[in-house]
Structure 1
Amino acid sequence: MSASATPSVLFVCVHNAGRSQMAAAFLTHLGGTRVQVRSAGSAPAVTVNPAVVEAMAEVGIDISAETPKVLTTGAVQASDVVITMGCGDACPYFPGKRYLDWQLEDPAGQGVEAVRPIRDEIERRIRGLLAELGIEPAA
């Protein structure tokens, strides 16, 4: 990645229905056009977790139209930073990429009360990632 290029970040979890969707939404919301955002799952669900949709709506981010996507090697190859969230050995590895593994509780099967602290931790980590990338978060 050259200094002038727009950084590209891929978030990966198993179902692409919770953690990776929240992370992608926060990075899109806070990074805007200054960062390219992707998310995917090694075994994608049919829909995004409704409790996750509700928790994100509480902070003004609508992800109700999002759908889980399957992880492809092309998505990994096209990304500068790959952030995994519990996808284990299903995540392909390519030399030259920056990999981070965020250990976060899985919101699957949990209500919105349990999703809120996960959401808030993801936002905190996204703000830290933006700082590392030299991108000022949107207000």
Structure 2
Amino acid sequence: MITATARLAFIREWLSLNISQLATALDVTRPTVYDWLSGERVPHADNALRIKQVYDLAREWEQMSSVPLRVSATTPIVDDKTLLSALSGPSPDVSLARAMLDRCSEEGAPTVRNEHDRALTKATIEDAERVARWLR
């Protein structure tokens, strides 16, 4: 089973979110995201569900594109709304976020992928899982 830490790293990479944007999308604070990434805290059930929803969207993008989304989370995509606005708030608008990803896929959203990005993400996920195992 994939850990919350690995899911968060995957979301950050494939949806190109910084820590602040990820916190906004998950409706939590930046320190909470840092705690989850370090393995110091485990998300509560409601947060774990939200992480899964956003993770599933990131997986969908990975299947659509094979390279991370490089459209800014604050760039309007559909009806002057941004990916971040679709994901933020008390409950994410998954349908709208999915429509945005579809639009980016159809329009050939700018993407960048290089071996350094891939190696960094893999190392981040491995390090996070190693720390989580050590803390158990």
* TM beyond 0.5: no
More helix, by proportion: 2
TM-score (norm 2): 0.29
State the TM-score, normalizing by the size of structure 1.
Answer: 0.29
More strand by share: 1
